[in-house]
Structure 1
Amino acid sequence: MTTQNLTDPDEITALMTGTATPSTADVSAGEPDEKPAIQIGGEAETIRALTTALGHGALPDVYVSGGQLVHLSRVSGKAASAAEHAHQVDAGALPVQADPITSPSLAWLLAHHAFVYRNKFNKATEQWEDVEASPTKAALSAVLSSRYWPDVRPLVGVVTSPVLRPDGTLLQTAGYDTTTGLYYAPTVTMPTIPAQPSTQEVSEALEFITSKLLRDFPFVADADKANHIGLMIAPILRPFLNGCLTPFGLISATTQSSGKTLLAEIPGHIYGLKHLVWRTSDENELQKSITSALHSTAAVMLWDNIAEGTEVSSALLAKLITGPKWDDRNLGSNSAGFETTNDRLWLATGNNIRLGGDMATRTALVRLDPNDPHPDQRDQTGFGIPHLDQWLKKPANRVTVLRHLLILVMDWINAGAPRSGHTMRQFTTWAGAAGGFLAHHGIDGFLDNVAEMREADDGNTTWTAFLARWHELHGDTPLRAKVLCHSAEPTETSGKLVDRWDGTFLTDERDRIPNSKSLGKLLTGHIGRWHGHYVLRSEFDKSANMNVFWVEINPESDQADHDQTPAAADQTALI
Structure 2
Amino acid sequence: MSITADPTPDTSNGDHSVPADRPAIQIGGEAETIRVLTAALGQGALPDVYVCGGQLVHLSRVSGKAAGAAEHAHQAASGALPVQADPLTASSLAWLLAHHAYVYRDKFNKQTDQWEQVEASPTKAALSAVLSTRYWPDVRPLTGVVTSPVLRPDGTLLQTAGYDTPTGLYYAPNTAMPHIPAQPSTQEVTDAREFVLGTLLRDFPFVAPADKANHIGLLVAPILRPYLGCLTPFGLISATTQSSGKTLLAEIPGYLYGRKHLVWRKGDDSELEKSITSALHSTAPVMLWDNLAEGTEVNSAVLAKLLTGPQWDARMLGSNGAGFEAANDRLWLATGNNIRLGGDMATRTALVRLDPNDPHPDQRDQTGFGIPHLDDWLKKPANRVTVLRHLLILVMDWINAGAPRSGHTMRQFTSWADAAGGFLAHHSIDGFLDNLEEMREADDENTEWTAFLAQWHELHGDQRLRSKVLCHSAEPQLIGDQLVDRWEGTFLTDDRDRILSPKSIGKLLTGHVGRWHGRHVLRSTLDKHANSLVFWVETSPEQAQPDHDHTSAADDQTALM
Please confirm whether the aligned pair reaches a TM-score higher than 0.5, indicating the same fold.
yes
The one-letter code of the counterpart of 1:498 is: V
Q: 1:563 to 1:373 in 2, by over 3 A?
A: closer
Q: 1:433 to 1:481 in 2, by over 3 A?
A: same
State the match for 1:571 in structure 2. Answer: none
- Asked if 1:319 corresponds to 2:310, the answer is no
Native 8 Å contact 1:328 1:336 kept in 2: no
Please give the per-residue CA displacement for 1:9-49, whole angstroms capped at 9, x wherever unaligned.
xx67x99xxxxxxxxxxxxxx95342111111111111111
- Asked if 1:247 corresponds to 2:268, the answer is no
Name the CA distance, whole Å, in 1 between partners of 2:482 and 2:304: 45
Q: Which moved more, 1:94-103 or 1:465-474?
A: 94-103
Name the CA distance, whole Å, in 2 between partners of 1:85 and 1:305: 28
State the match for 1:524 in structure 2. Answer: 510
Matches within 5 A, 1:49-64: 49-64=36-51
Native 8 Å contact 1:63 1:71 kept in 2: yes
- Shift in Å, 1:164: 0.1
Q: 1:52 to 1:204 in 2, by over 3 A?
A: same
- Shift in Å, 1:286: 1.1
State the match for 1:22 in structure 2. Answer: none
Native 8 Å contact 2:81 2:147 kept in 1: no
- Shift in Å, 1:392: 1.0
Matching residue within 169, 181, 189 for 2:176: 189
- Shift in Å, 1:86: 5.2
Q: 1:84 to 1:417 in 2, by over 3 A?
A: farther
Name the CA distance, whole Å, in 2 between partners of 1:280 and 1:466: 26
State the match for 1:160 in structure 2. Answer: 147
Matching residue within 343, 350, 359 for 2:345: 359
Matching residue within 90, 96, 116 for 1:129: 116
Matches within 5 A, 1:30-429: 32-77=19-64, 88=75, 95-242=82-229, 244-328=230-314, 335-429=321-415
Please give the per-residue CA displacement for 1:65-115, whole angstroms capped at 9, x wherever unaligned.
111111111112289xx9996564599x97211011111111111111111
Name the CA distance, whole Å, in 2 between partners of 1:179 and 1:78: 37
Please give the per-residue CA displacement for 1:280-301, whole angstroms capped at 9, x wherever unaligned.
4222211111111112121111
Matching residue within 514, 519, 534 for 2:520: 534
Native 8 Å contact 1:304 1:349 kept in 2: yes
The one-letter code of the counterpart of 1:180 is: T
- Shift in Å, 1:136: 1.2
Name the CA distance, whole Å, in 2 between partners of 1:294 and 1:179: 23
- Shift in Å, 1:245: 0.3
Q: Which moved more, 1:429-438 or 1:547-556?
A: 547-556
Name the CA distance, whole Å, in 1 between partners of 2:243 and 2:160: 39
The one-letter code of the counterpart of 1:181 is: G
Percent of aligned positions that are identical: 80
- Shift in Å, 1:434: 0.2
Native 8 Å contact 1:302 1:347 kept in 2: yes
State the match for 1:568 in structure 2. Answer: none
The one-letter code of the counterpart of 2:272 is: L
- Asked if 1:499 corresponds to 2:499, the answer is no
The one-letter code of the counterpart of 2:452 is: F
Q: Which moved more, 1:384-393 or 1:411-420?
A: 384-393
Q: 1:84 to 1:231 in 2, by over 3 A?
A: farther
Matching residue within 464, 472, 476 for 1:478: 464
State the match for 2:11 in structure 1. Answer: none
- Shift in Å, 1:494: 1.9
Native 8 Å contact 1:86 1:393 kept in 2: no
Q: 1:421 to 1:89 in 2, by over 3 A?
A: same
Name the CA distance, whole Å, in 2 between partners of 1:84 and 1:326: 32
Name the CA distance, whole Å, in 2 between partners of 1:288 and 1:61: 29
The one-letter code of the counterpart of 2:544 is: D
State the match for 2:557 in structure 1. Answer: none
- Shift in Å, 1:374: 0.5
Please give the per-residue CA displacement for 1:432-470, whole angstroms capped at 9, x wherever unaligned.
000000000000000000000011111110011001111
Matches within 5 A, 1:13-24: none
Q: 1:329 to 1:556 in 2, by over 3 A?
A: closer
Native 8 Å contact 1:64 1:153 kept in 2: yes
Name the CA distance, whole Å, in 1 between partners of 2:346 and 2:65: 36
Native 8 Å contact 1:69 1:100 kept in 2: yes
State the match for 1:557 in structure 2. Answer: 543
The one-letter code of the counterpart of 2:427 is: H
- Asked if 1:456 corresponds to 2:439, the answer is no
- Shift in Å, 1:127: 0.8
- Shift in Å, 1:368: 0.4
Name the CA distance, whole Å, in 2 between partners of 1:421 and 1:475: 38
| Secondary structure, counterpart of 1:444 in structure 2 | coil
The one-letter code of the counterpart of 1:205 is: A
| Secondary structure, counterpart of 1:336 in structure 2 | coil
Aligned length: 535
| Secondary structure, counterpart of 2:271 in structure 1 | helix
Name the CA distance, whole Å, in 1 between partners of 2:496 and 2:143: 48
Native 8 Å contact 1:251 1:264 kept in 2: yes
Native 8 Å contact 1:327 1:339 kept in 2: yes
Name the CA distance, whole Å, in 1 between partners of 2:77 and 2:493: 58
- Shift in Å, 1:563: 9.4
The one-letter code of the counterpart of 2:42 is: G
Name the CA distance, whole Å, in 1 between partners of 2:156 and 2:71: 28
- Shift in Å, 1:6: 4.0
Q: 1:85 to 1:539 in 2, by over 3 A?
A: farther
- TM-score where L is the length of structure 2: 0.92
Native 8 Å contact 1:6 1:36 kept in 2: no
Native 8 Å contact 2:77 2:255 kept in 1: no
Please give the per-residue CA displacement for 1:459-482, whole angstroms capped at 9, x wherever unaligned.
110011001111111111111000
| Secondary structure, counterpart of 2:254 in structure 1 | helix
- Shift in Å, 1:116: 1.1
Name the CA distance, whole Å, in 1 between partners of 2:493 and 2:50: 54
| Secondary structure, counterpart of 2:226 in structure 1 | coil
Which blocks of at least 5 consecutive residues in structure 2 are unaligned?
Answer: 8-16, 550-561
The one-letter code of the counterpart of 2:190 is: S
Higher relative contact order (CA 8 A, sep 6+): 2
Name the CA distance, whole Å, in 2 between partners of 1:76 and 1:328: 29
| Secondary structure, counterpart of 1:520 in structure 2 | helix
- TM-score where L is the length of structure 1: 0.90
The one-letter code of the counterpart of 2:31 is: A
